[in-house]
A and B are shown apart, each in its own frame.
Chain A
Amino acid sequence: MSKCKAALLAALQLRPHILLKVWFCTLTYSYFNVSLLNSLPVCPVLFTVGRNQYEKMGSDVTMLCGSLDNSTSVTWKVNGTDVRAPHRVEGPRLMLPKVNSSHNGLYSCFQNPHGERRDSINLRIGLPPREMSITCRSNTYPKGFYCSWQEHYPTFIPTMFEVDVQHNQRSLDVQDDPVHKNRCHVRFPEVFSSFLYHVNVTAVNALGKASSTFSFEESTIVKPDPPERVVATPVRNNPRRLEVSWNSPSTWPDINSFPLKYFLRYRPLIREQWQHVELSDSTTHTITDAYAGKEYIIQVAAKDTEIGTWSDWSVAVHATTWISEITSLLKWTLSSQTSPSSVPSSKAPQKAEPPVGRAARVLTFFSPLMLGMLLLFMW
């Protein structure tokens, strides 16, 4: 017998009327059924659930035990233990002054003197919603846009959001985002419109509601996703060049009618300052002023040729400019002098002699000549 099932049966013996909450994508409430449990693919999360009571932080709370009359005497428990917080009991009522989140819990009341349980209240302390900030963006222009909102103040209790988008005095169809809770999607009803879009987000919970609005013009929210699959390769026999190529973002639906232009930035790994190149709609570029033998970081951004703002920078790619084999060997022998255990990155003759001795001998003999050659090949 699974642990889940055993725990469930044990709990049932104590409280045969518990409600079982089963975790799937949607919540379902049902009375316990052994055969149902056998077929469940996941262990049901077991806890007793009463009716919810939401109260505002800092307020004085009164909980009423069922529908008992005022003369009834009850005993209250929270999460199975005595109520420790300052409180007052008057007949079937439990009063808690100036509540905070420590008062959260499952409160049960038992009628005296026999102790029959009469009610279960899940007390949740929270706040009503307050203003939010809304932003909208179109990375799929001209197909549609999405809006996201952010609450500045937590509510601590379940809060839902109603979104309304108006354009040219008409309400647009709004789709929830399947992944992001605070995001929704809208299709553009038309393109090149000068009418503003008005987004109204209303946050609603048991303690109140609050609305925030955001208005914008079609062209101002256009921001593509960054370019994809950026590739940078060195050019053989050309130590100052790097060939960079990329793809337009796959989320941009119509690259032919709505071309993108690009911005490229690059710097050697060891430097702080970027170099920038603004490009048209071509998806390749050759950097011609790189330093030989240096590792570079390269990023690309995209923007619609006419409207909107630049995308975020693409993922950074690293590339090292081409360096001749002789130069590479010279560098290796030079670096071997300082760190004898270093391994050359390009082909180097492997001999049985210890590298320290060999490098030292080569270096002593050729050092002025090598430095000269090195400089020659670098520039």
Chain B
Amino acid sequence: WEFLLSFFYTVRYPQLVLLLAAAAVSALDASERSSIESTYELTKYLEYQLKEIKDVYLTYLGPPFNEKDFSPPRPNSTALTLPSAATRLELWHGLENQARLAQNQRAYSILLAAVRELARSTLCPSLKTSLLHFCTGLDGLLGSISALMTTLGYALPASS
């Protein structure tokens, strides 16, 4: 459980968000721009949803997770190969859009798998529903990213 919980904190939106903001400026046509913007809005909505679910989930787990100052152990970066948004600034600046999108695709796929597993093993029905609803949103996001990559002519990463 600690692993899955930590994952909530590890995955971030900034890469995708900023990519979209930057891409929106230089996008070629209106439909591309609009799909980038709607994907961006989706990530913001999912982040909000995730925060809400996190609070409900921690309450569901009970102590010590539901305590006010609970801070999950951050995954030891050598122990687990979780994707992390953390990067050196100059590396991030130098990333190509294709690489950015591919990284995000991979990260959200892993998150989707983790949340599906959480939903499967959650006994509380309302929480299960919330988690599955979140998975639907995440799935939609993955679809948006794939569509964007195809439109921009990038090869889609092989699904793991």
Contacts and interface: CB of A to CB of B under 8 A. Distances in A.
> Is chain B found bound to chain A in the same assembly?
yes
Nearest to B9: A194
B12 A257 contact: no
B21 A194 contact: no
Contact of A192 (B15, B22, B74, B77): B15
Contacts of B13: 306
Interface in A179-201: 188-196
A191 B21 contact: no
B89 A188 contact: yes
Nearest to B6: A194
B61 interface: no
B74 A196 contact: yes
Interface residues of B, number: 21
B14 A194 contact: no
Contact of A195 (B14, B18, B86, B93): B86
B12 A190 contact: no
A257 B22 contact: yes
A263 B89 CA distance: 28
Contacts of A142: 89
A168 interface: yes
Nearest to A193: B86
A51 to B, nearest CB: 47
B71 interface: yes
Given A257-B93, A259-B21, A194 B74 contact: yes
Contacts of B10: 194
Nearest to A305: B21
Nearest to A217: B9
Interface in B70-111: 71, 74, 77, 84-89, 92-93
B93 A192 contact: no
B21 A192 contact: no
Given A142-B89, A306-B14, A194 B22 contact: no
Nearest to A191: B89
B22 A191 contact: no
B24 to A, nearest CB: 11
B18 A190 contact: no
Interface in B21-35: 21-22
A258 B17 CA distance: 10
A189 B92 CA distance: 13
Of the candidates A142, A191, A306, A307, the one having the most CB atoms from chain B within 10 angstroms of its own CB is A191
A192 B86 contact: yes
Nearest to B74: A195
A190 B85 CA distance: 10
Given A257-B18, A257-B22, A306-B17, A192 B88 contact: no
A192 B18 CA distance: 11
Of the candidates B13, B84, B89, the one having the most CB atoms from chain A within 10 angstroms of its own CB is B89
Nearest to B71: A196
A188 B87 CA distance: 11
A192 B9 contact: no
A192 B85 contact: yes
Given A168-B74, A192-B86, A305-B21, 6 more contacts: A189-B88, A191-B88, A194-B74, A194-B84, A257-B22, A306-B17
Interface of B: 9-10, 12-15, 17-18, 21-22, 71, 74, 77, 84-89, 92-93
Interface of A: 142-143, 168, 188-196, 256-259, 305-307
18 contacts: A143-B89, A168-B77, A190-B87, A191-B87, A191-B88, A191-B92, A192-B12, A192-B14, A192-B15, A192-B86, A192-B87, A193-B84, A193-B85, A194-B85, A194-B86, A259-B21, A306-B14, A306-B17
The 10 closest A-B pairs by CB, nearest first: A192-B85, A193-B86, A190-B86, A192-B14, A194-B9, A194-B10, A190-B88, A191-B89, A192-B86, A192-B12
